[in-house]
Structure 1
Amino acid sequence: MSDIAPRELIRLADDEGNSVTVDVLGRAPRWSAGLDAEIVVGTPFVSGRIDLVLSTSKLEAWSDALDRLDAGEDVAWMERSRGPSLFIHLTGERDCPEVVVEDESGSMVTVRVPLVPPDDWLADHRQRLHEVMNHWVPMLSA
């Protein structure tokens, strides 16, 4: 196993310059069972970032979301928690996949990013999740 902490949990990007990432920044200083992270949106039109805290249960929920996406379902991740939510629609408003980042509880801003991820993106994201969980979860206390 590498000594370098895995940073990117999610990286959805296309050739048009549209991307949504979720980056793990490290252990949350105010909560021993959490990881500081951020959602970063980048497009030729708009870009931004929002902080969030990830827990083991949120990482497990991302695993469930990947399974549902693989079964052809749209997903909502972190929808019922404080902070931002991330939605993935396999066929969005522009007849292509889209990622929606919503910050209802904070800025009240919603950003919709149409993008076509590579064919192997689900396997790639399962590997990313595996690496993040193997590195970070043993360090977190309940």
Structure 2
Amino acid sequence: MVELISLSDGDNGFRVRVLGRRSPGILHLHDQLDAEVLITSSFVSGRLPMFLLPSDLEDWSRALDLLAAGQDICWRDDDHSPEIRIQPHNEEHETPAVHVEDLGSSCVSVFLPMHLEQGWIDEQRRLLGQVLKEWPSEVLQSSPGVYEWRR
């Protein structure tokens, strides 16, 4: 297991943990990763299973760039996974904040303001690098529905 996202201030925590390849050795599924969202606070705790595609990791990298520029982001806003929104600065709480919504299955929504230390975005970039190193993309989709192993 490797964490892709780890945000915590001691009271509230939000993590995305990568568990491993979903279907290793099966060409068209090999690069998909099983993962889970973990939320902890003094009020609620929860866990949501999810899976990640290589494009999700690319999207997370771009989202980190937007966060570093002070912009709010929305990551994983599809029908099959929780929607994750992060604000580098929430006006009401004057802190970064994470909002997770699982409209696809549980219909639960959690908002977590967090007092994060300076450099938290750089730490998320480091975690992304670890995930990419642990599970590099090994399959190339040369055209829609056509897959081959990278050489």
**Shared fold per TM-score greater than 0.5:** yes
What amino acid is aligned across from residue 83 of structure 1 in structure 2? S
Report the counterpart of residue 89 of structure 1 in structure 2.
87
Cα distance, 1:89 vs structure 2: 1.3
Cα distance, 1:94 vs structure 2: 2.2
What amino acid is aligned across from residue 14 of structure 2 in structure 1? V
Q: Which structure shows the higher strand fraction?
A: 2
What do the CA deviations read for 1:11-59 (whole angstroms, capped 9, x no partner)?
Answer: 00003x2100000011113832310000000001100010000111000
Report the counterpart of residue 36 of structure 2 in structure 1.
38
- Largest Rg, 1 or 2: 2
For the Cα contact (< 8 Å) 1:33–1:141, is it kept in 2?
A: no
What amino acid is aligned across from residue 135 of structure 1 in structure 2? E
The runs of at least 4 consecutive aligned structure 1 residues that moved more than 6 Å come to none
For the Cα contact (< 8 Å) 1:98–1:114, is it kept in 2?
A: yes
Report the counterpart of residue 148 of structure 2 in structure 1.
none
One of 73, 76, 91 as aligned partner of 2:74: 76
Cα distance, 1:81 vs structure 2: 5.0
Q: TM-score with structure 1 length normalisation?
A: 0.88
Determine the C-alpha separation between the residues in 1 that align with 2:139 and 2:18: 13
Stretches of structure 1 that go unaligned for 5 or more consecutive residues are: 1-5
Q: TM-score with structure 2 length normalisation?
A: 0.83
Find the residue that maps to 1:63 and give its secondary structure: helix
Report the counterpart of residue 3 of structure 1 in structure 2.
none
For the Cα contact (< 8 Å) 2:97–2:114, is it kept in 1?
A: yes
Report the counterpart of residue 65 of structure 2 in structure 1.
67
Determine the C-alpha separation between the residues in 1 that align with 2:65 and 2:44: 30
For the Cα contact (< 8 Å) 1:99–1:113, is it kept in 2?
A: yes
For the Cα contact (< 8 Å) 2:79–2:104, is it kept in 1?
A: no
Q: Which structure shows the higher helix fraction?
A: 1
Percent identity over paired residues: 38
1:11 is aligned to 2:9: no
Determine the C-alpha separation between the residues in 1 that align with 2:138 and 2:47: 26
Determine the C-alpha separation between the residues in 2 that align with 1:124 and 1:49: 22
Find the residue that maps to 2:89 and give its secondary structure: coil
What amino acid is aligned across from residue 132 of structure 1 in structure 2? V
Q: CA RMSD in A?
A: 1.7
Report the counterpart of residue 111 of structure 1 in structure 2.
110
Determine the C-alpha separation between the residues in 1 that align with 2:96 and 2:65: 16
Stretches of structure 2 that go unaligned for 5 or more consecutive residues are: 142-151
